[in-house]
Amino acid sequence: MPRPSPQRKPRASSQARIAEILAAARELLAEQGMSGLSIYAVAERAAIPPSSVYHFFASVPALLEGLTGDIHAAFRACLLEPVDHAALNDWHDLSHLVEQRMLAIYAHDAAARQLILAQHGLTEVTRADHQHDLELGRLMQALFNRHFPLPQLPTDIDVFALAMELGDRVYARSVQLHGEITPRLAAEGMRVFDAYLGLYLPAALPKRPQPLADALPQH
């Protein structure tokens, strides 16, 4: 029996069109919020026929799900950026560095704030965000383990993903109240992140003499 052919990647032209659609959706989301987003509005902003948008995204929730993945790519990238091992005194330094990088993304990306921190009630987006958080949690755990030998962590929960989601709850509260993450609530979110990790990481966790090589999975 012949083997099924492997699934093909989208052609370069398709990838470019998807990028155009997501860029248009990102602009509309940042400018007008969820209320200004429709397939026809995205098509008009991207200067393409609505049928071209429907070809890749069958509905607004599907489009937002795709945009969620696009936004999370920035969070993945910030976890893969180099870290100055010599500048780390303890794991809290690394914790603060990671959170500051993520806060910078939120500060400069209104679409990220709308999708991840605002209340929209879209199940597809919430589910996609949670799945991406699990991936980010694994990357973050690998990053911490690169610089600090981690103790045995629970296997029935994702400690780093949950810590990140708890911090996001504080940032979401700030966006709901003030339309942005204020410095005061940014600090509170970082405290929540640190406090939860502190339930599992000893305060005196020693730093590795040298960071582990190839500790972070590439995506």
Round to whole Å and give the CA distance between 49 and 85: 50
Specify whether the CB–CB gap between 102 and 165 falls below 8 A.
no
The dihedral built from the CA positions of residue 60, 63, 64 and 65, taken in this order, carries a sign that is positive
Q: What is the pLDDT of residue 11?
A: 55
Most confident among 18-32, 106-120, 193-207 (mean pLDDT): 193-207
Round to whole Å and give the CA distance between 59 and 40: 11
Residue 23: pLDDT above 60?
Answer: yes
Q: Write the pLDDT tens digit of every residue in 132-173.
A: 889 999 999 999 999 999 999 999 999 999 999 999 999 999
Q: Write the pLDDT tens digit of every residue in 39-97.
A: 999 999 999 999 999 999 998 888 888 888 888 899 999 999 999 999 999 999 999 99
Domains of the chain: 9-58 (1.10.10.60), 60-219 (1.10.357)
Residue 122: pLDDT above 80?
Answer: no
Q: What is the pLDDT of residue 185?
A: 96
The dihedral built from the CA positions of residue 171, 127, 76 and 89, taken in this order, carries a sign that is positive
Closest C-alpha among 154, 61, 62, 137 to residue 102: 137
Token pair listed for 2: 């012949």
Round to whole Å and give the CA distance between 76 and 85: 19
Round to whole Å and give the CA distance between 143 and 90: 14
Residue 5: pLDDT above 90?
Answer: no
The mean pLDDT value of the chain amounts to: 88
